[in-house]
Amino acid sequence: TPGLYIVATPIGNLGDITLRAVDILSRCDGVACEDTRVTGKLLKHLGISKPMWRYDDHSEERDRARLVESMRTRAVALVSDAGTPLVSDPGYRLVNDARSEGISITSVPGACAFVTGLTLSGLPNDRFMFAGFLPQKDKARRDMLEELAGIDATLVFYETGPRLVKSLIAIDDVLPNREVAVARELTKLHEECRRALPSGLIAWYESRPPKGEIVLLVGPPPEEAPREGDAEDMLVRALTTMKTSQAASE
């Protein structure tokens, strides 16, 4: 059926492609992708041959409009180099435009690095905030961490090997008491997940410059110990409740 199919692909381990992704990629009319070489390799591995069009959100407005228009009669799969399209990857504008043009859209879920890192880290995941990549400039990076510091949730970032230590140093400055996890090379041969206070991780990675792709997680703010006044309040409230229920039963 014509329309747009947002198709997640593996983040390292090719075994993570889904049956549905293979089915859609085999049956679609063409694949819009970030890099035709990367997607070409994946399709070849799957034994699929399809026309490919390079797409990113900075493509000319006209090209995007033409691609969206083609979805009225053709099934177009959108993939990125790895993982779920739109998640720190191109596709947002395409999906937004396709939606306002009334094109039929389906999302085919699959691998996503931040979900994989979050589950592997064992950090609280009942509330988390995915914040993409930290800015590259020192001041902007610090400003962003300060902005996020008050959020009562695990913070999740995308990171690269060469920038990891700089980010850890900034986290140590702004959020020194928060547990941090470094989830690296997920689903690949050298997958690792290391969890400690930022100072400990700085020491570790400074002497072992990390390679590869990283999900960086910062645990939620530690729960505040109740202050003395709070304990007193609680005691008075408990005693009052006891007295009231006693009076009621008499």
- Site for ligand SAM, rule CB under 6 A: 11-12, 80, 82-84, 87-89, 112-114, 158-160, 183-188, 213-215
CA 6 to chain centre: 16
Rounded least distance, CB 22 to ligand SAM, Å:
18
Closer Cβ to ligand SAM, 24 or 111, answer by number: 111
Rounded least distance, CB 240 to ligand SAM, Å:
53
In sequence order, the 6+-apart residues with CB closer than 8 A to the CB of 206 are: 165
Closer Cβ to ligand SAM, 29 or 57, answer by number: 57
Rounded least distance, CB 79 to ligand SAM, Å:
10
Closer Cβ to ligand SAM, 62 or 137, answer by number: 137
Closer Cβ to ligand SAM, 84 or 121, answer by number: 84
Closer Cβ to ligand SAM, 52 or 70, answer by number: 52
Secondary element (H or E) of residue 120 = helix 113-121
Rounded least distance, CB 25 to ligand SAM, Å:
17
Write phi, then psi, for 221 (nearest 5 degrees).
Answer: -60, 140
In Å, what is the CA distance from 117 to each residue of 93, 102, 156, 214?
A: 26, 35, 9, 9
Instruction: List the beta bridge partners of residue 4.
Output: 76, 105
Rounded least distance, CB 158 to ligand SAM, Å:
3
DSSP 135: P
The SS3 assignment for 71 reads coil
